[in-house]
Amino acid sequence: MIPLKIHRFAVSWRALHACRAAARRRALPVLLAAMALSALALLTPPLAASETIGIELNRIEDQGANCRAYLVITNPGEIAFSGFKLDLVIFGGSGTITRRLALDLAPLRAAKTSVKVFDITDTACAAIGSILVNDVVDCRDLSGSVAGCVDRISTSSKLAVSLSK
């Protein structure tokens, strides 16, 4: 065995090989986990277009001290939702949060487009810069709670006020 001198320490080739082998053994579980997660991501199908729920900000109008907003909701899929409540955040023109509210869109019938009207109290429409769908706080179909409803949403706006998620 030929010793290798490194900074006053003698290290044999056998010890160096053993150290590398141990590092490979420690890396193997991490590599296998990463491969498994990658395979799972490839096997998980993306949502079909028919499972996407479209939410469009279609119109806003002043109603006294309030701003009335009209949302067009498109549910082209075969799932009817008995619960569908959004957590909305209203931003002013400068980008600061001015209001937060919960909006219940349920029931959403299957293969149906509907219009929901709601008031943003004590807020002039001109003061609204954008609306964020922060979360879906309640999402249920006839069999119970449905996971991943935020991922089902597609947002759009016909106005200068944007609607995003």
pLDDT of amino acid 51: 86
pLDDT, averaged across the chain: 84
Conformational region of residue 144, where left means phi above 0, alpha means psi within -120 to 50, and beta covers everything else? left
Q: Is residue 131 a contact partner of residue 77, using CB atoms and an 8 Å limit? A: no
Region 61-67 average pLDDT: 98
Inform me whether the pLDDT recorded for 25 exceeds 90: no
Neighbour count for residue 38 (Cβ, 10 Å): 10
Which residue's entry shows tokens 């900000």?
A: 57
pLDDT of amino acid 97: 98
Inform me whether the pLDDT recorded for 94 exceeds 70: yes
Inform me whether the pLDDT recorded for 137 exceeds 90: yes
pLDDT of amino acid 49: 56
Which of 45-54, 99-108, 113-122, 143-152 has the weakest average pLDDT? 45-54
pTM: 0.71
Please enumerate in sequence order all residues whose Cβ is within 8 A of that of 163, keeping only pairs 6 or more positions apart, or say none: 55, 56, 57, 130, 131, 132, 133, 155, 156, 157
Q: How confident is residue 40, by pLDDT bands cut at 50, 70 and 90?
A: very low
Neighbour count for residue 115 (Cβ, 10 Å): 11
Inform me whether the pLDDT recorded for 66 exceeds 90: yes
Inform me whether the pLDDT recorded for 38 exceeds 60: no
Region 94-113 average pLDDT: 97
What single DSSP character describes residue 124?
A: -
Higher-confidence position of 29 and 163: 163
What single DSSP character describes residue 53?
A: E
Q: pLDDT per residue over 116-128, tens digit each?
A: 999 999 999 999 9
Inform me whether the pLDDT recorded for 37 exceeds 70: no
Cα–Cα distance between 118 and 92 in angstroms, integer? Answer: 18
pLDDT of amino acid 130: 98
Cα–Cα distance between 131 and 143 in angstroms, integer? Answer: 31
